[in-house]
Homo-oligomer: A and B are copies of this chain.
């Protein structure tokens, strides 16, 4: 075991998870891209991919598997065993949290790997922007907004955003840094005034945990990967396999490759 989980290579981390280690992946495999997993039957795949194409900020697709395949170009492991924990959904309803989904996997499942804000949070910290939920040891607060996504067939729903309170003199830095990462939600969708997004109370997020907003700090909102999960589940696919929250797919891709000039 490495003392610092950031020192693991992706293949080492995946082997540990395959062997049964169950842990959130924040901080693991420094510099490697972590991803959301959503696997759905092939019959649902076009709408998921089209929804992502139409809503690239909340749904940055990093890779898509062949139907039934258990690895992808950027994930040289076994999608059924190499994440630390999974959530299985039947007809859109949670049907259990497990650490191995081999018994559920089907030959027609298409796996979508979708970018995750862990990538840009590392870049924000490196640029000196504090991240409150990390300071407080909490999950990031997330909110349903009154902004609809562009729908794709039956797939639709509100944009979900995450919020990070930023000191006014660092707002421009936060915008600049995250805009370099369009593959992981990119620049904020909104700066300040939660009510314009239909958010009544920052202390009551729809997902995750509330965080302290200090006097004078500006709430800054980024598109969130919960958006496609919520839209997909609302269409009630017969089977969907997702990562458990915070227990991401650790890919072989490098965060640096996702940055644009």
Which of B49, B153, B176, B182 is the one whose CB lies under 8 Å from A50? B49
Interfacial residues of chain A within 169-202, with CB under 8 A of chain B in the complex: 176, 179-180, 182, 187
0 or 1 for each of A60-101: is its CB under 8 Å from B? (1 = yes):
010010100000010000000000000000000000000000
Instruction: Give the number of chain A interface residues (Cβ < 8 Å).
Output: 19
Number of copies: 2
User: A54 interface residue, CB < 8 Å from B?
Assistant: yes
Tell me which residues across on chain B come within 8 A of A54, comparing CB atoms.
64, 73
Tell me which residues across on chain B come within 8 A of A153, comparing CB atoms.
66
* A169 to B13 alpha-carbon distance, docked (Å): 46
CB distance from A37 to the nearest CB of B (A): 16
User: A260 interface residue, CB < 8 Å from B?
Assistant: yes
Given A46-B46, A53-B49, A53-B61, check contact A261 B180 (CB 8 Å): yes
User: A7 interface residue, CB < 8 Å from B?
Assistant: no
User: A150 interface residue, CB < 8 Å from B?
Assistant: yes
Given contacts A53-B61, A54-B73, 9 further A-B contacts (CB under 8 A): A46-B46, A49-B49, A49-B53, A50-B64, A53-B64, A54-B64, A73-B150, A180-B261, A260-B260
0 or 1 for each of A198-231: is its CB under 8 Å from B? (1 = yes):
0000000000000000000000000000000000
> A261's closest neighbor in chain B, by CB?
B179
Whether the Cβ atoms of B73 and A261 lie closer than 8 Å is no
Tell me which residues across on chain B come within 8 A of A73, comparing CB atoms.
54, 150
* A45 to B48 alpha-carbon distance, docked (Å): 13
* A49 to B152 alpha-carbon distance, docked (Å): 13
Whether the Cβ atoms of B182 and A260 lie closer than 8 Å is yes
